[in-house]
Every structure is written in C-alpha cells, then in structure tokens.
Amino acid sequence: MAVLTSVDSWLDVRLVHFIMACVLIEALVLTAWLWRTGRRALAPAWLATLASGFCLMGALAAALDQGGFWPAWLAAAGAAHLLDLWLRVPLRRARDFR
C-alpha cells in the first residue's frame, strides 16, 4: 500500500477547478434570483463575497499547479474582501468607532 507523499495525490487541481466552476454557477443563479425577486441592492455584497472566495481558490489552484500567479490571486482576493467589507459596513457605523 502506497503512502501519500504529496498534496497532489489527495487534492488535485482539477477538484479545485471544479469547485471554482460551481462557484461561478452559484454566482449566476444567485444574481438571477436576486434580480427576479427585486433584491438587486443585495447583489454587489454577495458577489463580492463570492469573488473573494473564488480568488482564494484560484490561489490554491495556482499553488497546486506550481504556477507563478498565486500572488496575483491573493491580491485579488484581498481587494474583493476589502470591497465586501466596504459594501457591508455602513459609513455611519465606521464613524462611531473614531
């Protein structure tokens, strides 16, 4: 019986790509549902949250594939996370913490 010696043997980059495709489908379905139900104002916050997770999975896929683009994916995840925070935290609440 072989011993698992690397991450690639139990977590293949194809699995990460499959999950990324599922997240894209989720984003499309969620956007369509929010649009149809009249909750369009909620779409940017949800999409920013999904984008942050999507970019983190992109960084994981790049690292597993030993590609050099993982820092760009991490930077994009950080930017999406900051956008998510900016959309979710009202400015008046941020002013109260000063």
pLDDT tens for each residue of 27-47:
999 999 998 998 888 888 889
Beta strands in 1-98 (DSSP E): none
For tokens 């499309």, name the residue. 28
pLDDT at 4: 43
Q: Residue 13 corresponds to which amino acid? A: V
Q: What share of the chain is helix, strand, coil (3-state, %, to 5)?
A: 80, 0, 20
Q: What is the pLDDT of residue 64?
A: 86
**Beta-carbon neighbour count of residue 35 at 10 Å?**
11
H or E stretch at 20: helix 13-36
Q: What is the mean pLDDT of residues 71-86?
A: 94
Q: Indicate the domain borders of the chain.
A: 14-89
Confidence of residue 94 (pLDDT cuts 50, 70, 90): low
Q: What are phi and psi of 44, to 5 degrees?
A: -60, -40
- Whether this prediction's pTM lies above 0.85 is answered by no
What does the block give as tokens for 97?
């913490």
Please write the tens of the pLDDT for every residue from 57-77: 999 999 888 877 899 999 999
